[in-house]
Chain A
Amino acid sequence: MNKPLKIVTSNKLALTNFATAFALLLVGGFLGLIQGLNRAGVLEIVGGINYYEVLTLHGIFLILAFTTLFMNGYLWSATDYVLGGLSKGIRMMGWVAYGLFMFGALLVTIMVLAGEATVLYTFYAPMAASPWFYIGLVFVVLNIWLSGLGVFISAFRWKRRNKGRHLPLFAFFAVGVYILITFATLFVAAEVFYIIPWTFGWIDTINVMLTRTLFWAFGHTLVNVWYLVAVSAWYMVVPRVIGGKLFSDSLARAVVILIVVLNVPGGFHHQIVDPAFSEGLKFMHLFMSLAIAVPSLLTAFALFAVLERTGRRRGGKGLLGWFWKLPWHDVRFLTIMLAMISFIFGGAGGIAQTNNQLNQVVHNTLWVVGHFHVTVGVAVVLTFFGLVYWLIPHLSGRVLTKKIHNLGIWQTMLWTVGMLFMTLSMSYVGLLGSPRRTEYTTYGGNATALEWDPYLLFVGAGGTLLFAGVVLMVYIVYHLMFLSPKGYTPFMVVEEEEEDAHKTPKWTENWGLWVIVAVLIISMGYVVPLVDLIGNAPPGSPPIRTF
C-alpha cells in the first residue's frame, strides 16, 4: 500500500493568510507606485487623499501587514508540517489571531483614510493620530502574540511527546522568530499604551524621546524578524531545491539563538543622531548593533558552503565553476538566490549606517529608503516570492505549471530590475541630500533640489516596474491557489545534514535560558537610556496635528 502523502493540516488558515497578504501587497504596491511617480515629479496626487496618507498606508500595508500575514502563513505551515500537524485548538487559535489582525488593520486603515492618522508607519510623537489608530495597532500586536503562542504550545507538546529529541529545525526557527517578535512588540505595546491616554487627552504631555526609543526597540527588531523568517528559508528550503544538504544543524540553531539574543539593543542605532543621548552611550550601542553582523556572517559562510558543495556535486570544476552549475533556470532557486545576493549589499549598507559619522551624512535622506528597499524589498520579499511557487500549490493541492514557472522568471527579473533602478537612484540621490518622507518639490527652483530630479525619475521608473511585478505576482498567487491543475506538490524542507557535520549539542534546545540571556542583554542595552529619559524627563509635548 502506498504511504499517504504528508500535507499541512492547517492549509485553509495558511491560504487565507497568504490571500490577504497578497491582496494587501497589491494595494500597498499601487500606493508605492503613486509615491514613486510623485517623487519623480510626473504625478500630482489629487482626489481627497494626500502624499502623506499614501505614504502612511504604503508603509503599514507592506512593512507591517504583508510581512506579518506572510510570516504567519509560512511559519504555521512549516511548524504544522514538521511537527506532524497542529491540534484543532491551535488551529482555532490561528483563526482568532487572523480575526484580530483583520479587525485591527481595518481600524488603522479607516483612520488613515479618514485623514485622522497621517503619522507615517513610525507614528512618531508628538504627531498625534486618532486614539483609534493606536487601538487598531494593539489588535495587530495581539495577532502576533496569539500566533506565537500557538507555535510555542505546539513545540512544547511535541517536545513532551519526543523526549530527548531535538525540535525539528524548521520549528526551531519558528520558535525563535516568534520569541524575537514577542520581545519587539512588548516595546511597541508599552509605547502605544503610553500614547493612547495622551491622544484621548487623559494626560497633557508626552515624553517624545521615550516614545522614539520604545519605537525603535520594536522597529529595528521587527525588520530583523522579517530577515530571520527569510533566513529560515535560506537554511531549510534552498538546499532542498538545489538538491543539496543542510550544512550544519548546530550552526543553524546557533544562528537562530544569536539573532534572538542579540537583536533588540541593535535598534538604538536608528537614534544615532537623536539628541538626549551621550556620545559614549551611542558608541557602546555601536557594538550591540554590529553584534548582529556575526550571525549574518555565519549564515553567509554556511550558505556559500552548501551552494559550492552542491555545485561541485553537479559537476562544477575550478574555482568558480560550481556557481554556474546551480539551477538558475529554476524560479524557486533564482528568486531566493537573488534575495541572498542582495542582502550582501543591504547588510553592508546597514553596517555603514550604524556608523555615527556616516549616518550623519545619510540620515533622513532617500539613502535610508533605498537601504530598506534592498533589505526588506529584495532580501526578504524575493525570498517570500520564492516560497510561493511550491508552498501555495502544496497548500491548495495543485501543481506549478511551466507557464506559471516562466511567468515567475519574468516576475523575478522585473522585480530585480525595478529594485535596481529604484534603490540605486534612491541611494545616490540620498547622498546628494534628497530628503525622505517628502512630497515632490523643487524648493522654489533651488539649484540643489533640481540636481536631484534626473535620479528621482529613475525612482519613478523603478516603482512602475515594481508595480508591474506586483501585478504579475498577485496573478501567479491567484493561479496557484485556484487555477493550476490539481496534484501534489511536496513541502520543501531539507532533511539531511552533511555527513561530517558536528552533532547538535543539547544546550541549543534550552529556550528558557536563551530568553533569560536575551532579557539580560536587552536590559544592558536599554536600562541606561530609559532611566535617563524618564529620570531627566522634560515637560513633554502636547499632541500636535500637522495634517
Chain B
Amino acid sequence: MKQFWYGLALLVFLALPPVRELLESVMAFHMHMQMMLLFVSGLLMAPFFQKRFGHIFESFNKTGLPGVVIFLVIVVYWMMPRAMDEALEIWYVELWKFISLPFLAGVPLRDSWKKISKTFEVVLFLVLMVIFAVMAYLYIFAESTLCNNYLMIDQQTVGWGFAFFTLCIIMYILLVLFTDQSQYFGDDSETS
C-alpha cells in the first residue's frame, strides 16, 4: 500500500502545472523524464490494483503476454512525434498521456513481469532495444523537425538520449546472458 501512495504522489507531483511546464519545456525532459516517471508511477501503483482487481488481471492477463502487448502499444504510441505535439496542444491528449502511461503501461507491465519467462524478458528487452535504436537513428539524423513544438537541437538531444538507452539495454542483455543473475536475488547468503 505504501508503494501505491508513493506512486500516486509522484503522479500528482508530475501533474502540478509548474512541474508540467518545466518538464515539457525541453523535449528530452518531456520524453525521457516526464514520460518515464509517469510509467514509474504506474509501476509503483500496480500492487494496489493487482490486489483490488485481482480477478480482472487473472482473467485478462493470465499469461502476462496481453499486459506486455498493451505496454508496447502505449510505449510505441508515445514515441510518435505527433503524439508529443498533440499532448502539448490538445488538453485531452495531455490527459490521455497522464492516464495511459501509468495505468496502461506501468501497471500491466508490473503485473506481467512475474508471469513471463526469463527468456521472454530478454526478448522484451531486445524489442525495446530495437525500438530505441530506430528512434535514436530517426531523431539524430532526421533533416527536418519532426515535432513542431521543439527545435532541431532538442530533437537530436532526444536521439542521443535514445542512443544511451539502447547502450544500457545492450549492456543489460549482455549482463543477463553472460552472468548468473540468480545469485543476486534473495537475502539468505551469509555475510562476510
| A interface residue numbers (CB < 8 A to B) | 82, 163-169, 249, 278, 280-281, 283-284, 497, 503-507, 509-510, 512-513, 515-516, 519-520, 523-524, 527-528, 531-532, 535-536
Report the Cα distance A82→B192, complex, angstroms: 10
15 A–B contacts from the bound complex (CB under 8 Å):
A164-B183, A164-B189, A164-B190, A166-B190, A280-B22, A506-B183, A507-B184, A513-B172, A516-B172, A519-B167, A523-B168, A527-B160, A528-B29, A528-B161, A531-B160
B68 at interface (Cβ–Cβ under 8 A)?
no
Chain A residue numbers with a CB within 8 Å of B168 are 516, 519-520, 523
Chain B residue numbers with a CB within 8 Å of A497 are 191
The answer to whether B187 touches A532 (Cβ under 8 A) is no
B28 at interface (Cβ–Cβ under 8 A)?
yes
The answer to whether B187 touches A527 (Cβ under 8 A) is no
- Least CB distance from A321 to B in Å reads 32
Report the Cα distance A497→B191, complex, angstroms: 10
Chain A contact residues: helix, strand, loop or mixed: helix
The answer to whether A528 touches B164 (Cβ under 8 A) is no
- Least CB distance from B32 to A in Å reads 7
| B interface residue numbers (CB < 8 A to A) | 22, 25-26, 28-29, 32-33, 153, 156-157, 160-161, 164-165, 167-168, 171-172, 175, 179, 181, 183-192
Closest to A170 in B: B192
Report the Cα distance A520→B161, complex, angstroms: 9
Report the Cα distance A516→B165, complex, angstroms: 10
The answer to whether A503 touches B191 (Cβ under 8 A) is yes
Among B33, B165, B172, B189, contact of A165 (Cβ-Cβ < 8 Å) = B189
Closest to A495 in B: B192
Report the Cα distance A520→B187, complex, angstroms: 26
Chain A residue numbers with a CB within 8 Å of B179 are 512
The answer to whether A505 touches B157 (Cβ under 8 A) is no
Q: Could you list 9 further interchain pairs (A-B, Cβ under 8 angstroms) beyond the known A503-B191, A527-B164, A531-B160?
A: A168-B192, A280-B26, A504-B189, A506-B184, A510-B181, A510-B184, A527-B157, A527-B161, A528-B26
The answer to whether A283 touches B22 (Cβ under 8 A) is yes
The answer to whether B161 touches A523 (Cβ under 8 A) is yes
Chain B contact residues: helix, strand, loop or mixed: helix
Report the Cα distance A527→B181, complex, angstroms: 29
Q: A519-B167, A527-B164, A535-B156 are in contact. Are A166 and B189 (CB under 8 A)?
A: yes
Report the Cα distance A519→B166, complex, angstroms: 11
Chain A residue numbers with a CB within 8 Å of B186 are 505-506
Closest to A508 in B: B184
Chain A residue numbers with a CB within 8 Å of B183 are 163-164, 506, 509
Chain B residue numbers with a CB within 8 Å of A503 are 187-188, 191
The answer to whether B175 touches A516 (Cβ under 8 A) is yes
Report the Cα distance A204→B153, complex, angstroms: 25
The answer to whether A536 touches B187 (Cβ under 8 A) is no
The answer to whether A284 touches B29 (Cβ under 8 A) is yes
- Least CB distance from A394 to B in Å reads 20
Report the Cα distance A39→B179, complex, angstroms: 57
Chain A residue numbers with a CB within 8 Å of B164 are 519-520, 523, 527
- Least CB distance from B178 to A in Å reads 9
The answer to whether B171 touches A280 (Cβ under 8 A) is no
Chain A residue numbers with a CB within 8 Å of B153 are 531-532, 535-536
Report the Cα distance A31→B41, complex, angstroms: 54
The answer to whether B184 touches A528 (Cβ under 8 A) is no
Report the Cα distance A509→B172, complex, angstroms: 15
The answer to whether B184 touches A509 (Cβ under 8 A) is yes
Among B29, B33, B171, B187, contact of A519 (Cβ-Cβ < 8 Å) = B171
The answer to whether B187 touches A504 (Cβ under 8 A) is yes
Among B187, B188, B190, B192, contact of A167 (Cβ-Cβ < 8 Å) = B192
- Least CB distance from A221 to B in Å reads 18
Closest to A531 in B: B157
Q: A165-B190, A519-B167 are in contact. Are A528 and B157 (CB under 8 A)?
A: yes
The answer to whether B28 touches A527 (Cβ under 8 A) is yes
Among B25, B32, B188, B189, contact of A280 (Cβ-Cβ < 8 Å) = B25
Report the Cα distance A479→B190, complex, angstroms: 41
The answer to whether B191 touches A166 (Cβ under 8 A) is yes
The answer to whether A524 touches B157 (Cβ under 8 A) is no
Report the Cα distance A504→B191, complex, angstroms: 7
Report the Cα distance A509→B191, complex, angstroms: 11
- Least CB distance from B135 to A in Å reads 14
Closest to B153 in A: A535
- Least CB distance from B62 to A in Å reads 29
The answer to whether B187 touches A524 (Cβ under 8 A) is no
Closest to A515 in B: B171
Closest to B28 in A: A528
Report the Cα distance A535→B152, complex, angstroms: 10
Closest to B27 in A: A528
Report the Cα distance A280→B191, complex, angstroms: 45
- 4 shortest interchain CB distances as A-B pairs: A523-B164, A505-B187, A510-B184, A531-B157
Among B22, B28, B172, B185, contact of A506 (Cβ-Cβ < 8 Å) = B185
Report the Cα distance A53→B71, complex, angstroms: 60
Report the Cα distance A532→B172, complex, angstroms: 28
Closest to A506 in B: B184
Report the Cα distance A527→B165, complex, angstroms: 11
- Least CB distance from A155 to B in Å reads 12
Report the Cα distance A166→B184, complex, angstroms: 10
- Least CB distance from A276 to B in Å reads 12
- Least CB distance from A288 to B in Å reads 11
The answer to whether B192 touches A169 (Cβ under 8 A) is yes
